């Protein structure tokens, strides 16, 4: 396994491999790897000839007052996990390589970026789509893997790839959860013991919503009211958003069907956590 920090070197390596007929699998991350990331790497290893992992804490997707400076980083531990997962190349560029002086170009996906996380984090998705498009241009992957936990992000990236005719496949993989069903996240490390316990209300609310939806004929508003009650009963939680949306358009739904996804963002203490799930099998 090798580590590359230069944009030019990474791109040259990828173009050489593709010229030799190799298929490149790619997993873009901000590092501080956990089992969710490792599940993406495992699938990437299975589906490609070569596996590239990027580790880059992207400053342009963090807003004012967010946790860019505090975001957990541990490149040494990440490299050890990556080697065990069969990664061929870690691409870990400094911000000055990705955004050199005079940088002035951005990628915007309209509509589906203006709701949910986009409504509460202005500019977030412009940063995401810009850095992901840059990474695709640099790494030149044939297939890229993302987790379903960031459901809106995955939807936005799929839309971008279609709209901009990018020649690669996007694969979303299931949420990986802790033994107690909390969705794995690098930000889970921020939680105190009491906060960690109360954070379980997210997955429990999802399970309760599925039970209600399975009864049939239930309005989305009724499910949302029940879920809201469960979450606000905890004294350390604060809801950012709670929505039942169509899986592709991300528009609010009045009635629950096979395309309905419950998406929630909740502050537990100062830590913002997200989770989601389809409501019908």
| Measured distance CA(66)–CA(68) in Å, rounded | 6
Q: In what order do the strands lie in the sheet with 271-278?
A: 237-246, 260-268, 271-278
Helices (H), 140-172: 151-163
Residues 158, 221, 206, CA angle at the centre, nearest 5°?
A: 60
SS3 label, residue 136 = helix
Which residue out of 34, 37, 124, 246 is catalytically annotated? 37
Alpha carbons within 13 angstroms on the beta-carbon side of residue 146 total 17
| Measured distance CA(24)–CA(18) in Å, rounded | 8
Residues linked to residue 272 through DSSP beta bridges, in sequence order: 267
Structure-block tokens of residue 137? 């241009």
Structure-block tokens of residue 113? 């970026």
> Using CA atoms in the order 213, 214, 215, 220, what is the torsion angle rounded to 10 degrees?
10
Let me know if 208 is a catalytic residue. Answer: no
Catalytically active residues, by annotation: 37
């Amino acid at each position: 396994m090798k580590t590359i920090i230069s944009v030019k070197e990474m791109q040259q390596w990828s173009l050489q491999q593709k010229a030799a007929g190799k298929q490149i699998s790619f997993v873009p991350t901000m590092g501080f790897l956990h089992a969710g990331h490792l599940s993406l790497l495992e699938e990437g290893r299975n589906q490609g000839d070569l596996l590239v992992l990027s580790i880059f804490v992207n400053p342009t997707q963090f807003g004012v007052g967010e946790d860019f400076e505090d975001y957990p980083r541990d490149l040494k531990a990440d490299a050890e996990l990556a080697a065990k997962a069969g990664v061929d190349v870690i691409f870990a560029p400094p911000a000055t390589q990705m955004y050199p002086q005079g940088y002035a170009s951005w990628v915007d996906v309209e509509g589906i970026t203006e709701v949910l996380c986009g409504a509460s984090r202005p500019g977030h998705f412009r940063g995401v789509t810009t850095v992901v498009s840059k990474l695709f241009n640099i790494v030149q992957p044939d297939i890229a893997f993302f987790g379903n936990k960031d459901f809106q992000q995955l939807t936005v990236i799929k839309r971008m790839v279609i709209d901009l005719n990018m020649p690669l496949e996007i694969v979303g993989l299931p949420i990986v959860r802790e033994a107690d069903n909390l969705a794995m996240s690098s930000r889970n490390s921020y939680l105190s013991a009491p906060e960690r316990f109360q954070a379980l209300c997210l997955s429990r609310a999802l399970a309760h919503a599925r039970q209600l939806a399975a009864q049939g004929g239930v309005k989305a508003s009724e499910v949302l009211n029940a879920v809201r009650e469960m979450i606000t009963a905890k004294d350390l939680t604060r809801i950012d958003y709670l929505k039942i949306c169509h899986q592709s358009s991300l528009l609010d739904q009045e009635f629950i069907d096979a395309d309905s996804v419950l998406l929630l963002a909740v502050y537990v203490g100062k830590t913002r956590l997200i989770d989601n799930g389809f409501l019908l099998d």
